[in-house]
Structure 1
Amino acid sequence: MRGPCHTRRTRPDSGLDFCFLRPSLSLSLYYWSIQTRHEISSTQPTELRRQFHHRRFIIPDFHSDTCINRLPNPFSMDILKTSRCIPTPFRPPPLIPHSRLANPLPQPRNFRKCRNMCAASNSDTILKSTDNTSKEEDGYGDLKTWMDKNGLPPCKVMLKERPSHDSNYHSIHYVAASEDLQEGDVAFCVPNALVVTLERVLGNETVAELLTTNKLSELACLALYLMYEKKQCKKSFWYPYIKELDRQRGRGQLAVESPLLWSEAELEYLTGSPTMAEILGRAEGIKREYNELDTVWFMAGSLFQAKAFPFEIFKQAFVAIQSCVVHLQRVSLARRFALVPLGPPLLSYKSNCKAMLTAVDGAVQLIVDRPYKAGEPIVVWCGPQPNSKLLINYGFVDDDNTYDRLVVEASLNTEDPQYQDKRLAAQRNGKLSVQSFQVSVGKEREAVLDMLPYLRLGYVYDRSEMESVLSSQGPICPVSACMERAVLDQLAGYFIKRLDGYPTTLSEDEILLADSNLNPKRRVATQLVRLEKKMLIACLQATVDLMEHLPDDSVSPCPAPYAPTLKWSLSLSLVNL
């Protein structure tokens, strides 16, 4: 007997809603709707409650080993005739050859069998699997085989593996050229039927865009979807892809997880780095995302029981999605974040690479930007991200990253009687009362020169000088040699203080990195702080060079009652990370 939301198709001119839902999910949502109406009506007068009594059903618990008894005849045709289709929050991909989405609604006995089969992984996320089942035992083959069976056109790549540094984890898979490639060759082209986006998850682009403009981010929605799909075990169409994500455990090609999943002891490797504060801020953001899921727990508690999706599980899933999501260009909002099989984390990221995954008609393709020999790993561009973002998002650091940068935050003294005038002068020159200066690798001297006019403004204390500044055009007018030395002294002291915040020196970092047995997490953390120190040292050297060009009489002290503030504060609290 079909439930109220069975898989069906209607002619476009029939005037009927197009209902294409997984039977078990749709029927569960139908039962949930009826039960919710009963529970809400329990606070109403007895006469009204009586109206809903005959429609009360209790849905099978997705996370229980037994199915709860229902009232007699739950499939009454009278009820089905008067019930409308309740759309699922998630829509599976269209039926294609070999798809397992159109399986009949399982009976309670079969459902219990599936529950027993998957009981060992119920607390797992798409990150926690340690299943060592072989391909032959699994019956699904590897990711590439699954894709070939489901419409992947012939391509020029294959999956290879490298050992993991941790014997408790699977080896790392990566995409390599299956034949010699030349620049401009199409390595692979994944059809949209095998790409996960919000448009596909929700089935309606308008709904997807409404959702992403509210409190839940795209990554949270995708993480929640794959968490649900993993609960379906082998019944899920996406099972082979989720199995591959389990294997990777959110690790990049250096076999390192995002520091969002590191222990407190491991995070100490980043002591002194502003990346520590970024990690804490990102962790707090994930916690806020999780708290916003209260609405999901309330509205679909049978599908997403809060106890089955605790915060730690959600965070692991979120970080795993973060490590493999692709930001597609020139597509609609509901398709901009995509999970592409054969994409990251199976592809290696490189900052100086020009190849990108791009959306084409009905697919996502990769055109290589360099020649490859058969067996060589394929690399793609990771976007203009500094190394701190590369580490947090993907678990690696690129020594050749031309987009690497640091931030220096300066602010005018709010206690200065001339604060408002200085704020206006700064705004006129494109600066704010609290201004962040970007220090890009290789352009440290330019960054220092960009900071100086702003800092000089903060040192102005004479009213007549301030009036001269307000009447001038362009950057702040020069100050005396004495004042210039005070400005440079403050800036040099700031860089020295930041360097002193690291527990190791640059030379000690070099010694650590020379150790081939260094822990991979310690290695990437040391790579990051080493590159940060190099930029800070270059800034300090540029500042000292400017001081050496000042006249000798500039050493006399200059008053600076309201000097600007250069921020250097790192939140080192690991509570709730």
Structure 2
Amino acid sequence: MVIFAPTLIPNSQLPRHSMASSYLRGSSFPSTLLSTSRRSSIPSTFYFPLLPIRNARRRNRLLACAADTLLAGARREDWSRGTKGSEAVDLKSWLVRQGLPPCKVVLQERHFHDGKHRPIHYVAASEDLQEGDVAFSVPNSLVVTLERVLGDETVAELLTTNKLSELACLALYLMYEKKQGKKSFWYPFIQELDRQRGRGQLAVESPLLWSEDELAYLDGSPTRAEVLGREEGIKREYNELDTVWFMAGSLFKQYPFDIPTEAFSFEIFKQAFVAVQSCVVHLQNVSLARRFALVPLGPPLLAYKSNCKAMLKVDQDVVQLVVDRPYKAGDAIVVWCGPQPNSRLLLNYGFVDEDNPYDRLVIEASLNTEDPQYQEKRIVAQRNGKLAVQVFHVYVGREKEAIADMLPYLRLGYVSDPSEMHSVISSQGPICHVSPCMERAVLDQLVGYFQARLSSYPTTLSEDEAIVADWQLNPKKRVAARLVSLEKKMLNACTRATIELIELLPDHTAWLVSCLSNMVLLPQKYVSLELEHLEANQPALPRHAERDSKNCHQLFLPGPYKLVSAFMFLSRFQ
């Protein structure tokens, strides 16, 4: 009975005849389990059995946030210039003139230490508020939706179920409106969006607008690949703009000669798109054409929090905010940002929430399609609610539960004996029994996986925490360091949870002696080295042992112990 060795090898070097039970894929793992250089180059794809991770899931069409300008050909404003004192009330004054009911909020400015950018505005309580108070109500006539933009709900629904997203439609509309300048009804609102530049309350734009050097702050994090994937999605949206222009009669009548891709460059569209993403509100219990809305006094003027319950809701002819906590006059008002992980909060809104209960890691596992028992394993996985390619979410604070959820799936990949496979098929529930030796191999693989992800970051956790604490550094660098530090803490928690399970296994020296006693492919001198290391707690095996073991991919073991990997036994001590 044979299982091929679970080793980390590039995709291009994976033998076609490999029968590892499942593969691990990821674009941010080092070429060895423990790299000697944390800044070494990283191949695009790696394999080892079980647990693949894909850093960018490109089917997500909520693509971006943050912007500088909404007008094609417009020169970027010098944000370091001072602002007129009256500008802070321009938006609210316009809203009052257009019928905004009396409200309990004001717009205030938040300044930043570097002085390189204009202050951002935020919504604050104008008086003391209690839980349940209505902070403000915005009439539907002052809310931008697809129903208003396109003038026909049927057309709106057609567009949003086709190739173009609601956000792209809204971005196109605002670009056309800004082209009218002060003649546009929405000029004060668009002017406010320009001022905010899509920045979150940490004064940081979405990574979609960062330079290549600034994106390097995210090295090692899956978020960097997500940025690239989202930018490709925005490009696809841009290529469909002419279609919506022809289909949307209201836009066509107003701008019959302004074909979108000729009037606006991709860069301008991307800036507009991410500006819309930073402030769009997902309304509940409304028609499809009204579910995505731009609400003056809403985000980005409202600050987001992950542990908040307040939301903008439709109440008859208005969109209103009912606060979920007491506020003192002058306090910034916060709303719930939805159940989003920190990586998405950064992409969409330019901030990271350290108290985010929805923060998570994504681990994607797949069964090996070349495994002779693949079909049987796929059936067993589906019977227990899992797929041949399965995504596992590891939520912050619940790492142990996530490991426990993954283990039955991982053990399934190690089953090779037909009689054991038959037993698994006939059993009920997700339990897949394996020997202590094989259980150790599964757990070692998990530890190696988490260590590989940690070693792909160019900085240590202590270095990240020092960056976060230094308020004089670039805000983008600080928010990126906050994101990767939280990712590392979750990976460390996963590692500790897995090691705790290893410590519950029978004494490793005893079972390792039993497992290795009749080994035929691994040179005996390395068996001795391994046992000596376990008994004497020596720091490491010789490097030549690691090199030579690459030629010994299989270990034939007696009795209930199946073939296990030389890599599993050797790499843990490198």
Amino acid at match of 2:149: V
Q: Which amino acid aligns with 2:159?
A: L
Contact 2:171 2:269 in 1 (8 A): yes
> 94, 98, 123: which is aligned to 1:150?
98
Whole-Å Cα distance in 2 between the matches of residues 427 and 136 of structure 1?
Answer: 63
Aligned to 2:62: none
Cα distance between partner residues in 2 of 1:514 and 1:122: 39
- Amino acid aligned to 2:381: A
Aligned in 2, Cα 1:560/1:336: closer, same or farther, shift over 3 Å? farther
The match for 2:365 is 410
Gap change, CA 1:422 and 1:121, over 3 Å in 2: closer
1:432 matched residue in structure 2: 387
Q: Which residue of 2 aligns with 1:78?
A: none
Q: From the superposition, tell whether residues 144 and 454 of structure 1 become closer, same or farther in structure 2 (CA, over 3 Å).
A: same
Q: Are the counterparts in 1 of residues 82 and 118 from structure 2 also a CA contact under 8 Å?
A: no
Distance 1:554 1:370 in 2: 57
Between the aligned partners of 1:193 and 1:339, the Cα distance in structure 2 is: 11
Q: Per-residue deviation at 1:172?
A: 0.4
In the TM superposition, residue 539 of structure 1 has moved relative to its aligned partner by: 0.4
Q: One-letter code of the match for 2:412?
A: L
1:429-466 alpha-carbon deviations (Å, 9 max, x no partner): 11111111110000000100111100100000111110
Match of 1:441 in 2: 396
Q: CA deviation at 1:414?
A: 1.6
Aligned partner of 1:472 in structure 2 is: 427
Gap change, CA 1:465 and 1:347, over 3 Å in 2: same
C-alpha contact 1:176 1:376 (8 A) present in aligned 2 = yes
Distance 1:403 1:261 in 2: 25
Give the match for residue 318 of structure 1.
273
Give the Å deviation of 1:372. Answer: 0.7
Matched residue SS, 1:287:
helix
2:231 — aligned with what?
283
Q: Work out the CA distance in 2 between the residues paired with 1:129 and 1:426.
A: 57
Q: For 1:215, what is the secondary structure of its paired residue?
A: coil
Give the match for residue 242 of structure 1.
Answer: 190
Deviates more, 1:450-459 or 1:290-299: 290-299
Opposite residue 347 of structure 1, the aligned amino acid is L
Percent of residue pairs identical: 73
Q: What amino acid is the match of 2:393?
A: Q
TM-score normalized by the length of structure 1: 0.73
Instruction: Tell me which residue corresponds to 2:511.
Output: 554
Once residues 479 and 83 of structure 2 are traced to their aligned partners in structure 1, the CA distance between those partners, rounded to angstroms, is 32
The aligned residue for residue 492 of structure 1 is 447
Letter of the 2:239 partner, please give it. N
CA contact (8 A) 1:178 1:375 kept: yes
The answer as to 2:490 corresponding to 1:542 is no
Superimposed CA distance per residue, residues 25-48 of structure 1 (whole angstroms, 9 cap, x where no aligned partner): xxxxxxxxxxxxxxxxxxxxxxxx
Alignment of 1:34-113 (within 5 A): none
Task: Write out per-residue CA displacement over residues 325-350 of structure 1, whole angstroms, 9 at most, x where no aligned residue.
Answer: 00001111011000000000000000
Counterpart CA distance in 2 for 1:190 and 1:457 is 55
Q: Deviations over 1:318-373 (max 9, x none)?
A: 00000000000111101100000000000000011111000111010000111111
1:50 aligned residue:
none
Question: SS of the counterpart of 1:175?
Answer: strand
CA contact (8 A) 2:80 2:117 kept: no
AA aligned to 2:172 is L
Q: SS of the counterpart of 1:349?
A: strand
**CA distance 1:406–1:342, shift in 2 (3 Å):** same
- Alignment partners' CA distance in 1, 2:229 and 2:151: 32
AA in 2 matched with 1:351: S
SS of 1:477's equivalent in the other structure is coil
| SS in structure 2 at match of 1:390 | helix
State whether residues 197 and 334 of structure 1, in contact with CA within 8 Å, keep that contact through their aligned partners in structure 2.
Answer: yes
* Aligned AA (2:430): P
Greater CA radius of gyration, 1 or 2?
A: 1
Residue number among 378, 392, 401 corresponding to 2:347 in the alignment: 392
> Which one of the candidate residues 145, 148, 163 is aligned to 2:111?
163
Can you list the C-alpha shifts for 1:371-405, whole angstroms capped at 9, x where unaligned?
11111100000011110110000000000000100
One-letter amino acid of the structure 2 residue matched with residue 246 of structure 1: D
Separation in 1, partners of 2:197, 2:318? 26
Report the Cα distance in structure 2 between the residues aligned to 1:228 and 1:352, rounded to whole angstroms.
37
Q: Which amino acid aligns with 1:196?
A: V
Superposed displacement of residue 122, structure 1:
5.0
- Are the structure 2 counterparts of residues 554 and 213 from structure 1 closer, same or farther at C-alpha, using a change threshold of 3 Å? same
Tell me which moved more, 201-210 or 178-187: 201-210
* Counterparts of 1:436 and 1:546, CA distance in 2: 22
Aligned to 1:123: 73
> What CA distance in whole angstroms lies between the structure 2 residues aligned with 1:284 and 1:137?
40
Q: Which amino acid aligns with 1:123?
A: G
Could you state the TM-score of these two structures normalised by the residue count of structure 2? Answer: 0.74
Task: Report deviation, 1:305.
Answer: 4.9
Query: 1:374 is matched with which residue?
Result: 329
- Name the aligned partner's letter for residue 346 of structure 1: L
Determine which of 153, 168, 191 is the counterpart of 1:205.
153
Q: Is the 8 A contact 1:326 1:338 kept in 2?
A: yes
Q: 1:184 to 1:395 in 2, by over 3 A?
A: same
Range with bigger deviation, 306-315 or 531-540: 306-315
**Higher alpha-carbon deviation: 171-180 or 552-561:** 552-561
Contact 1:509 / 1:530 at 8 angstroms: preserved in 2? yes
3-state SS of 2:434 partner:
coil
SS at match of 1:550: coil
RCO comparison, higher one (Cα < 8 Å, 6+)? 2
Query: Residue in 1 aligned with 2:210?
Result: 262
Give, in whole Å, the separation in 2 of the partners of 1:312 and 1:499: 34
Q: Does 1:178 align with 2:129?
A: no
The amino acid across from 1:245 in the alignment is: L
Runs of 5+ consecutive residues of structure 1 not aligned to the other structure: 1-119, 564-577
Aligned equivalents of 1:218 and 1:364: distance in 2? 19
The total of aligned residue pairs comes to: 442
Q: Is the 8 A contact 1:444 1:538 kept in 2?
A: yes
Q: For residue 485 of structure 2, what is the aligned residue in structure 1?
A: 530
Q: Which moved more, 1:156-165 or 1:457-466?
A: 156-165
- Which residue number corresponds to residue 330 of structure 1? 285
Which of 353, 357, 375 is the equivalent residue of 1:420? 375
Which residue, 476, 480, 488 being the options, matches 1:521? 476
Give 2:479's aligned amino acid: V
| Cα separation, 2, equivalents of 1:499 and 1:131 | 39
1:61 — aligned with what?
none
How far, CA to CA, are the matches of 2:354 and 2:82 in structure 1? 37
Q: Supply the distance in 1 between the matched residues of 2:238 and 2:564 (Cα, whole angstroms).
A: 46
